[in-house]
Structure 1
Amino acid sequence: MQNDLKVFDQHESEVRSYVRGFPTVFHKAKGHKIWDLDGKEYIDFFAGAGALNYGHNDEKMKQKLIDYITEDGITHSLDKATKAKGEFLEKFHEVILKPRNLDYKVMFPGPTGTNTVESALKLARKVTGRTNVVSFTNGFHGMTIGALAVTGNAFKRKGAGMPLTNTVTMPFDNFLDNTSSDLEYIERFLDNNGSGVDTPAAFILETVQGEGGLNAARMEWLKGIEKICRDRGILLIVDDVQAGVGRTGTFFSFEPAGIKPDIVCLSKSIGGYGSPLALTLIAPKYDTFAPGEHNGTFRGNNHAFVTATEALNYWTDDALEKSVQEKSKKITSFLEDLLKKFPELKGSLRGRGFMQGISSEIEGLADEIAGKCFENGLIMETAGPDDEVFKLFPPITIDDEGLEKGLSIIEKSVTQVLEAKELVTS
């Protein structure tokens, strides 16, 4: 096959998107690097939109998967008991939940992030007998109808082609520019008999809004939201599909806030290798689905169980966690310096951990910078309701050399774009 996009233009649906931003045919990948059919090397600051936190083709995960396939291990099992699933459940409990004093039953709702969100919403409504769910401005939770109803993006919501109901949108942290007023606003709507807002079944939120523009909630706001829920018998759902599995510096993104959600949604990097897998973590008292009341054909992806179990070895000590936290400081420092060096960006720092970026007031600028990065050998996407944020999403296992090279490409690209727009001179 040639490095030619004609076959995709001719046969693939118009809905395709990433191929338009990264117009080449990719073939090989390793760690934080990816190559196209012409052999051009790219540094990957996209990481499968957070599905490849451990990078591409991790050697140990690859070998475990090869061994499992070679011995004719079960691939598809629905929710039958298998050796691979049992080993994952045991290790996840011992390595992740137990050390964090978290008690959850694990549900396998299907292979994707939107599957785990749908199951969480469905369970919250079943448990409470209420229909409404509170979501937050700029939140993103998936593209199926239930998940889309709690998503803020107008373009994505419009794609539903029907009214999206049984949800109420409230301001995310700092949407009203003040933590205490944000919380008071929410409480007033919940408690005032004239507000028109019934007590909801659940709140659903991301601690860092990935697609919504890398808006990072402050810890005091998260604690305040948890208290609002506890005081009123409302379930708290944390969607950790993109921000979880180490991307913010701890395995779960909510750990620094000291909160304990009733339901946690995980997908993307929980499979370790990029294989589809999703978990819905449920506080035991809410584990009330009857057998088969929620199911799915592909909720037993044993290949993903194998790689997910091996990936948990990264968390048997704090080495990776400390590495992510230290490198996160480098990313923050780089972006702060970039803003000082280029006030022409009219930008502000967003996010935390390994999901940071710069939001620019200049229409289309973030997209131009991402495009120039691609030309210069780095893959990076944009985020936000108007694609106003260029978004750094490297694998959390990237080494210092790779990180620094990627950051230098970003600075070079920013310089080139601003010079071309005659906003700065060389």
Structure 2
Amino acid sequence: MDIFTQKESNVQSYANNFPVVFSTAKGSHLYTKEGDAYLDFLAGAGSLNYGHNNDILKQALLEYIEQDGLTHGLDMHSDAKAQFLLAMQRYIFAPRRLDYKVQFTGPTGTNAVEAAIKLARKVTGRTNIVSFTNGFHGCSLGALAVTGNQHHRGGAGMSLNGVTRIPYEGYADTDGLSLFSAMLDDNSSGLDKPAGVIVEVVQGEGGLNAASPQWLRRLSDICKQHDILLIVDDIQAGCGRTGTFFSFEPAEIKPDIVTLSKSIGGYGLPLAVVLYKPQYDVWKPGEHNGTFRGNNHAFVTAAKALETYWADDKFAQHIDQRASQVTQCIEKVSQQYSSLFNGVKGRGLMQGIECLDGDVAHQITQECFHQGMVIETAGPDDEVIKFFCPLTITASELDKGLAIFKSAVDKVAPRLIKQAS
């Protein structure tokens, strides 16, 4: 561990909570060199929906590398990119009756958000962006401006402008959409008409707040009425995490712009895309670019993931079944220890249990780690324990992880209840 202490920046965060050195990983498990196994309920913060070293995706990648397939290609055409685009059209767009252009940005989610915001401003000629309380969209300056978290915003070292924030559904019992609509209709509200609205259907880092289909449809209608582009940030909630490929599908809306990253690469390889309706493809060549927007290895595994898991509804059914396991467990624990928990949040395999405070959540997750499971927290005060296992997890593996969680709660609960009293 000395080399990490000596040389790695203080900015590291996950390693502080999981102070071991991982050597290998497979499926839903992480392993140290000593052979200690940890169930992974973090899944690369959502970039490993199909698990670690998925055999099907790994074989496709190995065959591609063995054939000296193109690794890096900027935005030049390649066979790998063609196969990815064809897979998106066949397995994702066509069945959902979506017509989107695909923009390849730098391979991080925050770069996709930057591009989406820039595009909305370019299309409309307006500058203001509306975002929501507890939203998280990345740590580069444009994405950080639409992010609510003060811890992350404080790292900017400068003012973050061009954004109006309104209450998300359920925030402080406020009807944010009624407020938004009224302000748009009032010439004296002080709200600069926005170019776009950016929203997470389930707020990943903000505490697993989940928007209802009704609320999303209202938001979509307001945007249409006022010629505002609706941007759905599906970087964490997309690629099946909430049960459907896109998190907004149950609301039956068609956003103007969608951002994807994390698990779109399939294998944990960096890849990010922005999807938008064809009429908004107003970029000049190279106007938003990046050296690594042509990760052909990620194109290979992404296409294979779409072909393998999204050709029919079997994978979605599997996610729904596993999600029910999580819900049943955490609802039972929440009711059993009602003095420690405020209830269950989220959707699909993006669920969490809200603790009394961040200290309670920390003590439980640390005990989970001691018992062999990596699990993290979310929310304004890290008060939500976040169940974020690979979507490919088996029923027995998930039962094992939930049993570890229950055991951890049982162990620390007497001390926590005593402290609270």
TM-score, structure 1 as length reference = 0.97
Supply the distance in 2 between the matched residues of 1:330 and 1:40 (Cα, whole angstroms).
26
**Structure 1 residues 287-366: aligned runs within 5 Å:** 287-312=281-306, 313-366=308-361
Displacement after TM superposition at 1:85 (Å):
0.3
Of 66, 73, 91, the residue aligned with 1:70 is 66
| Residues 199-214 of structure 1: pairs in structure 2 closer than 5 A | 199-214=193-208
Q: Does 1:368 align with 2:363?
A: yes
Structure 2 CA distance, aligned partners of 1:188 and 1:369? 43
Instruction: Select the residue among 207, 214, 224 that pairs with 2:218.
Output: 224
Match of 1:249 in 2: 243
Is the contact between residue 61 and residue 307 of structure 1 (CA under 8 Å) also seen in structure 2?
yes
Offset at residue 419 of structure 1 (A): 2.4
Of 101, 106, 109, the residue aligned with 2:105 is: 109
Q: In 2, Cα distance between the equivalents of 1:362 and 1:301?
A: 41
SS across alignment from 2:232: strand
Pick from 382, 405, 413 the counterpart of residue 418 of structure 1.
413
Instruction: Tell me the distance in 2 between the aligned counterparts of 1:331 and 1:422.
Output: 24
Shift in Å, 1:422: 4.9
CA contact (8 A) 2:136 2:148 kept: yes
Task: Work out whether 1:167 is the aligned partner of 2:163.
Answer: yes
Deviations 1:146-185 (A, max 9, x none): 000000001100100000000000000111426xx33211
Q: Which amino acid aligns with 1:73?
A: G
Partner Cα separation in structure 1 for residue 347 and residue 91 of structure 2: 24
Which runs of structure 2 are paired with 1:26-41 in the superposition (5 Å)?
Answer: 26-41=22-37
Question: What letter matches 1:71 in structure 2?
Answer: Q
The secondary structure found in structure 1 opposite 2:173 is coil
Q: Is the 8 A contact 1:176 1:182 kept in 2?
A: no
Q: Where does structure 2 lack aligned partners over 5 or more consecutive residues?
A: none
Q: 2:266 is matched with which residue?
A: 272
Q: Distance in 2 between matches of 1:190 and 1:364?
A: 41
Alignment of 1:4-153 (within 5 A): 5-153=1-149
- Select which of 369, 374, 377 maps to 1:382: 377
Counterpart Cα distance in 2 of 1:303 and 1:363? 39
Return the alpha-carbon distance in structure 1 between the equivalents of residues 128 and 298 of structure 2: 34
State the 1:325 CA deviation.
1.0
Displacement after TM superposition at 1:69 (Å): 0.8
The alpha carbon displacement at 1:363 in A equals 4.1
Structure 2 CA distance, aligned partners of 1:10 and 1:176?
44
Indicate whether 1:185 and 2:179 are aligned: yes
CA contact under 8 A between 2:357 and 2:381: conserved in structure 1?
A: no
Quote the Cα distance in structure 2 between the aligned partners of 1:331 and 1:229.
35
Q: Tell me how far 1:137 sits from its aligned partner.
A: 0.1
Q: 1:196 is matched with which residue?
A: 190
Q: Find 1:404's aligned residue among 396, 399, 404.
A: 399
**1:423 Cα shift?**
3.7
Return the letter of the residue paired with 2:394: D
Residues in 1 aligned to 2:53 and 2:383: alpha-carbon distance in whole angstroms: 31
Q: Quick one: distance in 2 between partners of 1:340 and 1:61?
A: 40
* Separation in structure 2 between the aligned mates of residue 422 and residue 292 of structure 1, nearest angstrom: 58
Classify the secondary structure of the residue corresponding to 1:186.
helix
Range with greater deviation from structure 2 (365-374 or 273-282):
365-374
The residue aligned with 1:158 is 154
* CA positional deviation for 1:395: 0.6
Q: Which amino acid aligns with 1:53?
A: N
Secondary structure class of the residue paired with 1:421 = helix
Q: CA deviation at 1:346?
A: 3.2
Deviation at 1:359, TM superposition (A): 1.1
Asked whether the 8 Å contact 2:360–2:416 carries over to 1, the reply is: no
Alpha-carbon distance in 1 for matches of 2:100, 2:399: 39
User: Which amino acid in structure 1 is aligned with residue 313 of structure 2?
Assistant: D
Q: Which amino acid aligns with 1:322?
A: Q
1:329 and 1:384 map into 2 onto residues whose CA distance is 22
Look up the equivalent residue of 1:220 and give its one-letter code: Q
Q: CA RMSD in A?
A: 1.0
Aligned AA for 2:97?
N
Partner amino acid, structure 2, of 1:128: T
1:326 deviation in Å?
A: 1.6
Report the 3-state secondary structure (helix = DSSP H, G, I; strand = E; otherwise coil) of the residue aligned with 2:170. coil
State percent identity of aligned pairs.
54
Which residue in the other structure is 2:389 paired with? Answer: 394
Mapped partners of 2:324, 2:117: distance in 1 = 35
Tell me the distance in 2 between the aligned counterparts of 1:363 and 1:388. Answer: 4
Q: Is contact 2:236-2:261 (8 Å) kept?
A: yes
Contact 1:237 1:264 in 2 (8 A): yes
Alignment: residue pair count:
418
Once residues 421 and 258 of structure 1 are traced to their aligned partners in structure 2, the CA distance between those partners, rounded to angstroms, is 43
